[in-house]
Amino acid sequence: MRVSYVASQTSGLLKFADLNQVPASTAPYSQSRTPYPVWKSVQSFENLGFTNYQSLQTELSRRFRAGLFFQASYTLAKELGNAGNAAASDFPPEAPFGAVPIDRFNTRLDRGNFGASRRHRFVLTGIFPLPVGKGRSFGTRLHGLLQTVAGGWDLSTVTLLQSGPYQTPMMSANLDRSNTNLAGRTSLSRPDRIADGNLTDPTPDHYYDFMAFAPPSVGAGRFGNAGEGILVAPGTIAVAAGLSKTFAVTERVRLRMEGTFTNLPNHPNFYQPVVNISNPSAFGKLTKVQSAENCGNRSGQIGVRVEF
Does residue 34 form part of some domain?
no
Asked whether 146 and 158 are in contact (CB, 8 A), the reply is: no
In degrees, rounded to 5, the angle at the alpha carbon of residue 263 between the alpha carbons of residues 260 and 266 is 125
CB atoms under 10 Å from CB of 163, counted, come to: 18
Does residue 158 form part of some domain?
yes
pLDDT of residue 134: 73
* Domain ranges, residue 215: 56-80+118-307
Does residue 23 form part of some domain?
no
Nearest to 31 by CA among 173, 179, 187, 190: 179
pLDDT at 87 over 80: no
Question: Which amino acid, one-letter code, is at 247?
Answer: F
**Which one has a higher pLDDT value, 114 or 85?**
114
Q: How far apart are CA 284 and CA 24, in angstroms?
A: 29
Helices (H), the chain: 144-150
Does residue 236 form part of some domain?
yes
Question: Could you read off the pLDDT of 166-196 as tens digits, one per residue?
Answer: 999 999 989 999 999 988 887 789 999 999 9
Query: Given pLDDT bands bounded at 50, 70 and 90, which one contains residue 139?
Result: low
Does residue 104 form part of some domain?
no
- Distance set, CA 226 to CA 38, 52, 170, 190 (Å): 33, 21, 9, 6
- DSSP 8-state assignment for residue 100: P
| Number of separate domains in the chain | 1
CB atoms under 10 Å from CB of 67, counted, come to: 12
CB atoms under 10 Å from CB of 300, counted, come to: 12
Does residue 86 form part of some domain?
no
Q: How far apart are CA 277 and CA 9, in angstroms?
A: 33
pLDDT of residue 82: 86
CB atoms under 10 Å from CB of 173, counted, come to: 16
Gap between the terminal Cα atoms of the chain = 36
pLDDT, the chain, mean? 87
Lowest-confidence region among 32-36, 69-73, 195-199, 300-304: 300-304
- Distance set, CA 160 to CA 56, 72, 283 (Å): 18, 10, 28
Query: Given pLDDT bands bounded at 50, 70 and 90, which one contains residue 90?
Result: very low
Nearest to 195 by CA among 178, 207, 210: 210
